[in-house]
Each structure stands twice: as structure tokens, then as C-alpha cells.
Structure 1
Amino acid sequence: MSSDDDGVHGHIECRLGALLAERDMTMTELSRRTGITMANLSILKNNHAKAVRMHTLVLICEALKVTPGEILVLKPGAQADQ
């Protein structure tokens, strides 16, 4: 469903890459700390995820010591890459 079909004109952006850089942490280290595969972390980091399990979000929040709102931000008016 496109954003035009559902009346939504923004998208959710995952700030995982920026948060890792701020903490000087690698994806490998985050994967080790959380047990989340590198492939799944990469999908999130590159904003290709269609959904995120709550458990996954909790693990990332705990490892990075952040809240969900610091990882996922709403970008109103911007079109998501299809």
C-alpha cells in the first residue's frame, strides 16, 4: 500500500546507525550483546524493515541505553523509499 492510498505522508526512520556511531559501537558488538542477527540489525539500520518485534526493540534499547523514541522517529512529510 502506498502512502497515497492510506493518507499517510511520512515515514518512520530508524536511527540505529547514528546511535551506534554516537556510542562508538559496531553492529557486531550490538549483535553480540542482544543476540539479534547481523542481517536483522542491518535491515533495521538501513530502514528496510516493514515491522519490528517489541522484544527486538527492547533488546536494542537495553543494549544502547535508549528509549524506543530515540531509535524510531517519525519523519512527517517525507516519502519513504519504496
Structure 2
Amino acid sequence: MSDDRKEGDVPGISDERMAELVAEAERGYTFDDDRTESGPGALLLDLDKDQRVAVLARAIHDHTDPASVVRTALTDYLATA
């Protein structure tokens, strides 16, 4: 079986949907201090726009989810602190 995936492919997400998600992230988000969001995406709420875009781009590049990117970065940082 050949692997026909190209750089940036995310299983289950079409190129069109990925473009929508990237555009949404690049527009930025407005959040209230009284938010009650939870779940895997909630950790992105405390990041600024550039950080969110960078985390999402790295997740796409690594074919993983944003939470894994943040956990890895935090683990690496704490190991050197």
C-alpha cells in the first residue's frame, strides 16, 4: 500500500476544511474572562493569536492534535527549567 499523503494532510479533514480552519485561526478569536469551555481546544484559549496559529500549524505539520503539541512543548520546557 502506498502512502499518497502530502505535507499538511490530516486524516479525515479535507483540504477545503483545513483552509477554513486555518483562516478561522488567523482571524483570531475573542473570549470572555468568564468562559466555561473545556475539552482539547480549550487550552488554545489562553494563547495569543500568533501562538494559536503556530500551535495549529505545528499540529498540522506533525499530523497530530494541538493538545499534543502543547504537552510536548511544556514537557520539553520543564525538562530544561
Larger relative contact order (Cα-Cα within 8 Å, sequence gap ≥ 6): 1
Give the TM-score, by structure 2 length: 0.27
Pair member with larger Rg: 2
Q: Which has the higher helix share?
A: 2
Give the TM-score, by structure 1 length: 0.27
